[in-house]
């Protein structure tokens, strides 16, 4: 997705619709969401429905967890989120349950929620904030923006500052580190990785890593094993089916000719720590940086 922000929400008619009809209310709070739409609330949001697991984490991290009344399947962090009412899966929302919760703010996911359903919710004049952080800085501003809407700005600001500080520290620590050529495996069958537009790739470069497939045109490209063998990464990093499943890495061990295998640089990072654009990304990135540091030591 090299075409920039206006291309990111291509085809989605949402960009033209205002977040909520302008009302003659004195103290409106407005923010700009990730689809470049202005979202305004007359009062701080008190009943929030988060339409992706990542959005749930962001809202909780912004200090508004107690205002979350609805979540989608697989919203497993923080653990309290699992206690909230489910509104279906992010690919197929149960709009009835969403509306029955009488939300005053929805946090949607542009590339995850069906556009038709989002449009429907907009037509019903439910305030909708579209969330899609693609940069570390956007994670921080998401915390600021969401906490602004929820009236928890102080808590959100704190979380955002903490996140920025952590990122800055990592950046400083690895600024002069020797680049390590890394292959990040998103999925195994089909084999999938990420390009440089992806947050994971940005996490890599923060740690002084270099994504061997960064130049591919698609955000989440499908590749073949041969491409990995040709690229010969120095380290292979994978998530997995679960939070502690290293099976995918084991599969690479049969390729002795891979530098990563010879040097035993097969690393596991729990997927929820690095695949979700939330403050926990910092934790996952720290883990990734440690792994890449280890790889440097095995030169």
Partner 1 sequence: MAATEPTPTAWSSARRIRRLPLVLLIVVALASLLVAVGVGSVTISPQSLWSVLMGQGDPLYRTLIFELRLPRALAAFGTGGLLAVAGALMQVLLRNPLADPYVLGVSGGAAVAALAAMLVGLGGIAVSGSAFVGALVSTLLVFGLAHGTGSWTPTRLLLTGVVVAAGWGAMITFMLSVGPTEQLPGMLYWLMGDLAYSRGPWPALGLLAVTWLVLMPLARSLNVLARGPLQAAALGVAVRSLEGAVYVMASLLTAVAVTTAGSIAFIGLVVPHMLRLVWGNDQRVILPASILAGGTLLTLADTLARTLIAPEQLPVGVITALLGVPTFLYLLYRSR
Site of interaction with partner 1 (CB under 8 A): 1, 7-12, 73, 85-97, 99-100, 102, 110-117, 119-120, 123-124, 218-220, 222
CA distance 106 to 121: 9
**Cβ closest to partner 1, residue 20 vs residue 266:** 20
In angstroms, give the least distance from the CB of 276 to partner 1. Answer: 16
d(CA 128, CA 104): 9
Which residues are 210's β-sheet partners? 181
Q: How far is CA 271 from CA 173, 185, 200, 232, in A?
A: 24, 10, 10, 23
Q: Is the CB of 190 or the CB of 297 nearer to partner 1?
A: 190
Strand 92-93 and strand 88-89: pairing? antiparallel
Nearer to partner 1, 28 or 102 (CB): 102
CB nearer partner 1, residue 93 or residue 288: 93
What is the smallest separation between the CB atom of 66 and partner 1, expressed in angstroms?
A: 21
Q: Considering beta carbons, is residue 195 or 272 the nearer one to partner 1?
A: 195
* CB-based contacts of 194, cutoff 8 Å, min separation 6: 184, 186, 200, 201, 211, 213, 219, 220, 221
Beta strands in 123-256 (DSSP E): 128-131, 180-185, 209-211, 235-238
Taking the complex as a whole, the smallest distance from the CB of residue 11 to partner 1 amounts, in Å, to 6
**Three-state DSSP state, 103:** coil
Q: Find, among 63, 217, 58, the residue nearest to 150 by Cα.
A: 63
| Residue 28 or 125 having the CB closest to partner 1 | 125
Of 6 and 290, the one with the shorter C-beta distance to partner 1 is 6
Minimum Å gap between C-beta 36 and partner 1 is 13
Which value, in Å, is the radius of gyration of the alpha carbons in the chain? Answer: 20
Sheet hosting strand 105-109, strand order edge to edge = 85-86, 68-71, 48-50, 105-109, 128-131
Give Cα 41 distance to the centre of its chain: 25
């Amino acid at each position: 997705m090299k075409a920039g922000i206006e291309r990111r929400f291509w085809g989605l008619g949402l960009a033209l619709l205002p977040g909520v009809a302008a009302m003659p209310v004195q103290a409106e709070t407005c923010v700009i969401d990730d689809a470049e739409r202005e979202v305004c609330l007359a009062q701080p949001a008190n009943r929030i429905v988060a339409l992706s697991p990542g959005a749930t984490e962001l809202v909780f991290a912004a200090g508004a967890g107690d205002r979350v009344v609805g979540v989608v399947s697989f919203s497993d962090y923080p653990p309290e989120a699992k206690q909230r009412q489910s509104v279906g899966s992010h690919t197929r929302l149960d709009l009835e349950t969403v509306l029955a919760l009488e939300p005053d703010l929805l946090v949607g996911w542009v590339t995850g929620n069906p556009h038709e359903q989002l449009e429907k919710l907009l037509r019903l004049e439910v305030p909708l904030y579209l969330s899609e952080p693609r940069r570390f800085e956007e994670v921080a501003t998401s915390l600021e923006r969401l906490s602004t809407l929820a009236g928890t700005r102080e808590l959100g600001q704190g979380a955002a500052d903490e996140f920025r500080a952590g990122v800055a520290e990592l950046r400083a620590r690895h600024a002069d580190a020797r680049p390590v050529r890394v292959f990040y495996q998103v999925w195994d069958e089909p084999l999938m990785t990420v390009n440089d537009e992806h947050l994971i790739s940005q996490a890599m470069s923060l740690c002084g890593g270099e994504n061997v497939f960064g130049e591919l045109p698609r955000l989440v490209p499908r590749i073949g094993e041969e491409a990995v063998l040709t690229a010969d990464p120095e380290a292979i990093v994978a998530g997995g089916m679960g939070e502690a499943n290293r099976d995918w890495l084991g599969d690479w061990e049969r390729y002795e000719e891979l530098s990563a295998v010879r040097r035993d640089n097969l690393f596991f990072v729990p997927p929820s720590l690095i695949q979700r654009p939330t403050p926990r990304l910092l934790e996952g990135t720290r883990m990734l940086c440690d792994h890449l540091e280890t790889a440097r030591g095995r030169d």
